[in-house]
Chains A and B, each alone.
Chain A
Amino acid sequence: SRRHTNEIANSYDWDACLNDTYFVAAPVTCFKHAPIVDIWSNILVGMKVEVENTDCDNASETFPDSFWVATVTKIIGYKALLRYEGFGLNETKDFWVSLCSNQVHPVGWCATRGKPLIPPKTIEDKYSDWKDFLCKRLTGARTLPSNFASKVTDSMKSRFQCGLTLEVVDKNRISQVKVAVVHKIIGRRLNVKYYDMPPEDSGFWCHEDSPLLHPVGWAKKVGHHLVAPSQYVDRVRSGISEDNDASEELFTPVQIGSNDNTLTSGFRIGMKLEAIDPLNLSSICVATVMEVLNCGYIMIRIDTYDADATGGDWFCYHVSSPYIFPVGFCEQHSLALVPPKEFTLQTFNWKNYLSETGNVAVSASLFNTFVPAHGFEEGMKMEATDLMDPRLVCVATVAKMAGRLLRVHFDGWEEEYDQWLDCESSDIYPVGWCHSVGYKLEGPRVVPKHT
């Protein structure tokens, strides 16, 4: 048996699907935020690696673990199908490994550690001169860079550290941000705990690039509602920082906001648009601009629901967000737009609605309409965060695409649980990501048969 490191109880294992001819995974290069994506184009079928040899007699005292050279014959997500050198066309002992792990090493790694390469038992009598065989097979072949392991380690390091203070959208009231502290980090996903959370609460999970995270002082700067201890409010107002403050250098531009207030100059309160419902990510809805904040942010409200008089249903989007759209986006992409509360799909029509209510649509020129060549295709498998319970990362499939949006379907679940996510969302990961970083992967839902 092959040794697995960081096994997690009840975590789903893709291996059973990987040999299915019809299984297609989104390539690692589709995920800009994924570990070692910057060197992934240099990892190729045909490459030689050193890997543990599990086809051997029980470990000797001299060499407790045995290694041999293998060739990469297929790559799916972070998984590679390997064949030990010497097996020729015999695929019976092929095996899957994670490339983003400590399971594979560049050729030469064993020698630097004084470990001899030992041929698998099945083929040990196939050649009389293994030295000559390896010399011929390896000369001129490609292998991983000698610093591969450190590249993997570095790419998994978070910019954040436990104990840092930051401002995070309140999971129980999305119109406000709360002061929170980083409690745990796995695979650049942060588990944060709001300052007023009871100790037994498991906190809130999100990727460190999530637009729900902001630096200390963000709410004051942009004019967003903040819930924080008075001591925090006072010191932020006075410009006093503390050692544990997560400062702007740790965040992405969308998490910080822009100093260019002209970004929002075309947005006015009451203007209409289409937007992903932040509380139901399978729906694109009629929405209203409720407030224009500083630094390129707006507060919107989804018109599908009864208005919350306290503004608790407002949500902050940056104007460059891929989750807000001009009027007509759904029609253009043949998607069902969720109409305002008093309408049905049949009775709602943007032109009539705007003229009858005297509202104005936000100009289409103010939205981010750039569609990158993302590489995703319908049917591709991936690992995706269930944003309604973001502690969970689940087996998922690209069900549909619209512009730069992906409709992500959670395998085994009804379509109502689907999520529209941006192609550059940090909540989607390549097949094998969870295993690589040591995070539990939720498998497809298995519905028990009725008796």
Chain B
Amino acid sequence: PMENKPRKWEQKQVQIKTMEGEFSVTMWASGASD
């Protein structure tokens, strides 16, 4: 059943662009490799 499907959370570097400049943060993204 869907409810029992393990959640795959992967840590990933995410690029952010603001008017002051760009930087990257580490976030968790789900199901990316499903």
Contacts and interface: CB of A to CB of B under 8 A. Distances in A.
A355 interface: no
Given A29-B2, A373-B1, A107 B14 contact: yes
Contacts of A151: 31
A346 interface: no
Contacts of A144: 29-30
B33 to A, nearest CB: 8
A145 B12 CA distance: 10
Interface in A82-134: 106-108, 110-112, 114-118, 129-131, 134
Contacts of B25: 134-135, 138-139
A39 B30 contact: yes
Nearest to B29: A145
Interface residues of A, number: 38
Interface in B1-34: 1-3, 5, 7-9, 12, 14-23, 25-32, 34
A32 B2 CA distance: 9
Interface in A130-168: 130-131, 134-135, 138-147, 151
A41 B28 contact: no
Contacts of A38: 2, 5, 34
Contact of B2 (A41, A116, A129, A141): A41
A130 B1 CA distance: 43
A118 B9 contact: no
A131 B9 CA distance: 25
A130 B34 CA distance: 34
B11 to A, nearest CB: 9
Contacts of B1: 373
A117 to B, nearest CB: 5
A118 B20 CA distance: 10
A134 B1 CA distance: 37
7 contacts: A48-B27, A108-B14, A108-B27, A131-B20, A138-B14, A142-B27, A145-B31
Given A106-B29, A118-B18, 10 more contacts: A42-B8, A115-B17, A116-B19, A130-B18, A131-B18, A138-B16, A139-B27, A144-B30, A145-B31, A145-B34
Interface of B: 1-3, 5, 7-9, 12, 14-23, 25-32, 34
